[in-house]
Structure 1
Amino acid sequence: MIAAKAEPPGLPSIQATRSTWSVVAALKCRTSSIVIASCDQTALYTSSESCSSRSSAHALTSTIPATIRPNHRWGCGPPRRKLPWLKAATVLSPETFRTRIGFAAAVSLAALAATSVLLVLLADRTWRIVAAAGIWTAAAALLGWVVYRAGARERANKAQLARAEARYRALLDGLPLVTWLTDPGDRSSSLYVSPSISELTGYSPSEWLEEPGLFEKLLHPEDKVRVINELAGAANGIPVRSDYRLLARDGRAVWVRDETVTVRDPAGEPLYMQTFLRDLGELRRSEDQRERLEVAERAAAEEVAERQSRLDLVRRAGQELTSTLDHQSALSRVADLVVRELADWCVIDLIDEGDLKRAIVARCEPTEVDGAKLGDNPGSGIGAVAQSGRARILPTPGESSNGEPVRFLEGLEARSVISVPLRARKQPLGALTVARTTRGAAFDAADLALVEDLAVRVGLALDRGRLYRLVEERADAARVLEHVGDGIVLLDRNGVIRLWNPAAEAITAIDAKGILGRAAVDAIPGWQNAADQVPVLTAPDPGHDEVTIPIDTPRGERWISISGVRFFGGTVYAFRDLTDVRRLEEIKADFIATASHELRTPLAAVYGAAQTLLRHDFALDEVGRERFVSLIAEESERLGRIVNEILLANQLDAGRVDMEFEPFDPADLVERVVEAARAHTPPTVTVSHTAAEDLPSVSADSDKVRQVLANLIENAIKYSPEGGQVEVDVAEHDGAVRFSVRDEGLGIAPEDQDRIFEKFYRADPQMVRGVGGTGLGLYICKELVSRMGGRIWVEPNDGKGSAFFFELQTAEAAVLAHGNIEPGRLHFRH
């Protein structure tokens, strides 16, 4: 039911309508445009909430005559024509009724006056009575008809108005808003409130009508003063549109939109104030949701920007760490990035030889009051982080520091600190520590995750650099091992050969391809016995004596000096080939024995002859004395040659032999040397010589050539104990002069031919064949010939004896090689 007070004059309920009212509601889904129209297209109400509905609202109202608020444009729709809300129809109002009754009375009076005049004119009394009666009867009938018609019309109009009012109120009750009518200028005096007020506020229409101050009571305290001031303008005929909050019965704050106008009669007098209250809850919720979405969007954008910044920091740090193998400069640039983007301080401490040492310190620009300075000692806190592998963040997220500074870094009072370990392959490398002293809030879990990500990359970079250096060191070591003279063999913990360098191949004649990956006891003959004799140390010891042992190789028995060092990955053995050294030692021992014998023999002869000459117990004749003196002279000369050979060998080793190059005739030199040798040749040996014609001159030291040739002839005679022919030849051969000495003596075994020119080497060291010597003669020959630019070698002499050859360059070849040679002016020291 509709609650309403007694109808005041001018209300629509007592105004006539020309037709029955109906409602056409055009609701736009987003704008809630509402049009209320009569059946004859007279517009009652139009509301357009957005510009998008202007065309619809205008289309519905362009042909209808009026809106409910004259002189008012609302919404954002087009202006409407100024017409009354309900246009009066043909209805007898009380004033009209009284006017018509007066008109009927006037007609009656006119009829009465006419009757009086007629009566005066009529002489006959009877006719006067008849005329008067007729006139009065007609007047009464006319008056009755007028009264009847007026009453009938009024009853019909009242019924029509009642029906229109019922439809109108049904219309108002069905609107999706609250319709509220009050006295002009007095909101506390409510004339009508639609039932939808109950759904909006929880208060019934009767409560609104019965409690005058309910509206002000329900106004939100924060909106009350503003709303009252705004609504005061409506009393002055100013349309009002305001958004405010009403307090519902259940305590909710309901947002409404108040649109109030003053309705006036055709004369311009205010009839009542008409208010429409629209529930803005959904709109407000949409706006709140939109605001929340905007806030969330801004927060998401900020978070995306923050995450992008962190990703950029990680990316740039990765680029710096991978751009160089100099980890010191790379870490310095990474620390600079951190203090620009994340923290005020960045400290990197690294473990070096078991000790944690400060490597990098970076900070942002210091402030005027910031005098902080870090010490060089990382401190126990960072040490614990590095060793334990557990990160620390101070203060812990969610806890308050109560304004106390964090003293995690020595010498620095920070607001917040993060320290994370640097690790690679589960091995501690150090710690990365960042601190905030001035900027931003304390570090949170996201900051900790970022620093841990950076620490992982730093650890990988450090490990990569370490591995690269290790690879380089191993490559350098491998290059060294390829060229080192010592044999190196690496066995793993299972005794499998992992390294066998070229020197080891050369010493043992065992190819690395055939033994790598095999057990040493299977790949190297006699290794087990050899390894049992080698003491293995746990660390290199230069003072440790090496062990010399023999091993069997494809080249025969080799003597090696070997030592071993064990480490976590296996055992390294280093060995040197001492076979030649050992042989040289044996040769030296033989030389000493031989030299002693060679020296003792002439010395004994000299000593014996001298003692004989000094005896007085018997007398020697002149022949006997001459024989002993000649013996002393010959043995002394022999002793001198031995001593000279030893001295010359030492001079050759020391490079102190002077060479005086000059051209000489090789044929003449051969002839003189052969003649001198014949003086000491035994009768069983014949020495002959031949020389080719037109021999070119030889550029060399003629004394040294004479010494070489005499030594070869002496050896040929000495190694011909049974006699035979010794032939000395000289001829030109391929631009050089070749000297040769052939004998028919003992010969030289093939295995000794490559070694007879070695120092102290003798083909018959035990003198089984009765041939002695110091083992220096052929060594001296080889050294002298090579220092004169020639070469010397030995060949078998057609199956009997030996043939020695040496070649020297001609004088012409020497001039081409060295320029003009003046005798006695060209000297070389070799």
Structure 2
Amino acid sequence: MVGGYRANVANAATLESDRLSALHALNILDTPSEARFDRLTRIASAALDAPIATVTLVDEHRQWFKSCVGLDGREDDRDVSFCSVAIEKPEPLLIPDTLLDPRVAHMRVVTDEPFLRSYAGIPIATATGFRVGTVCIADTRPRTFSAADVGLLEDLARIAEDELNHKELSEALASWRESEQRFRAVFHDSTIGMTMVNGEGRLVEANLAFAAMVNIPPAELRGIPIMTLTHPADRDNDNIKELFTGEIDRYRREKRYVRPDGTWFWGALTASMLRDREGRPDVSIGMIEDITERKEVERMKDELVSIVGHELRTPLTSIRGSLGLLEAGIAGELPAEAADMVAIARQNTERLSRLVDETLDLERLQAGRVELNVRSVTPPELLQSTAQVVQRVADDAGIELVWEAPADLQLFVDPDRIVQALVNLIGNAIKFSPEGSSVRTIVKAHGSEALFTVRDQGRGIPLDQLDAIFERFRQVDASDHREKGGTGLGLPISRAIIEQHAGRIWAESVPGEGSTFRITLPLPLAKPPIAVYDRRAPRREELARAARRIGRRVLTFSDPETLAEADGFVLVLVAGAGLEDVDPGVPVIRIEGEDVDAAVVEALK
């Protein structure tokens, strides 16, 4: 009963809040007298022989008279308001004798001036159904109210109600017209291409910017199927039908648009639904940004990365090997000065090789071209593999490494990648810690996540650089690059790895007291794995990452035949075409829309 009482109190408070919002939306409180309401109170007073008649609106702490006959002032406290009682129910409130009604007998207006003894009030409501006030009469003598009296008062209340809502409607229409004019101004004058497409997939309207992109006058675009302007290779993944059926409310994609002369350009399309005043789908609004230049830059960057990978790695490996052989004495013992120069050359070659490797690694990670080889693993296994890499470095630097991790915690990760991230973090901690100090690595369960903490006792990181250190080639101090070494890519790579696992990584620090790096990784739920299929590696990893965020174990596939032959999963998530002729033997759910995380959560409910 106590819980039910609290719920009722909460519901009442919510309803009152909504009622007040509806009242304030009328924009009528504290406005001047108006003839259309004054006529009503004069009619009520004369026709019903009542010395007092009002059109009253009940605010949070007061009752306010839009029109009043027989009373001084325009408002009074709500705690002496008969109208506040009247709006509690939709029926008329009739009080033949106030002294006999315990709801009002104690009120000041009954026991003191103006000594009200009878009252009749009819609630008036907004168009949304909230009772916000009354049309009422009051008398200083007891009296009964006939059916004809109540009928006349109800007629006057309906007129007052219509006047209130006509005002609200007219203001809403004016606001709608104004916003429509603003929208059309933005639509036509925008420097971004904009289109309106109907449910049949035909252009209703296009602005000047889009017309210039496709080199077709706006008037000639009306009625053209949008597909005729889309590159044939990009027509399969359009979501216009899903927009109009309500399956999705918006989507974003990159596609190519074709001009009449056969040339084409890349456009980033964001489409959403514009509904009419009744809430029905009207037209799809598309915003198109020309990203041809960006695509060309991405292509050139990919080519550069490929060139770096193939053209630099091989000669660098050869140079490093040759220098190593010279240091080992294959050409005889070198003079001391020459030996020093060879050592410096070999060290710089190794550094350049690491830079090339890490740059390529980061590019692949950020482009989603690195697929995770996930399996079940415990934190102690991860820390043991990490220790094998960093222990000698710590010993040489005089740093104690402390490890704490529960053996009964199961993670579903790519162990090689997680170890790579941990090596980067712990390696940095060792590098910036004073001799004789310690670096502690702790793993524990934290709700639905595993929390990794790497804490050192070094100089710390300024607060304004806690985020910047995860950017490429960023160092806390410019001299660190010379004195401490490193490429400046370790932390960005670690962040990319953790985010690919649907985790988070961040730093905390008090300058002079050391730094703490934290990683969270989702713990797998006690549910069977799911499969993710897409031929495109970035899209495949995007779906997999969204599923990992909610604790699901994921198997990824790029080949439909391989998927069809596999088992051990309960459903397949797909983002595009490719499974039409393959039956994996489990449900296949297509993920659409711009918000992949929300779509995956909905699909896996």
TM-score tier, shorter chain, comes to 0.3 to 0.5
Which structure has the greater CA radius of gyration? 1
Give the TM-score normalised by the residue count of structure 1: 0.27
Query: TM-score scaled by structure 2?
Result: 0.35
Task: Flag the structure with more relative contact order, 1 or 2, with Cα contacts below 8 A and sequence separation at least 6.
Answer: 2
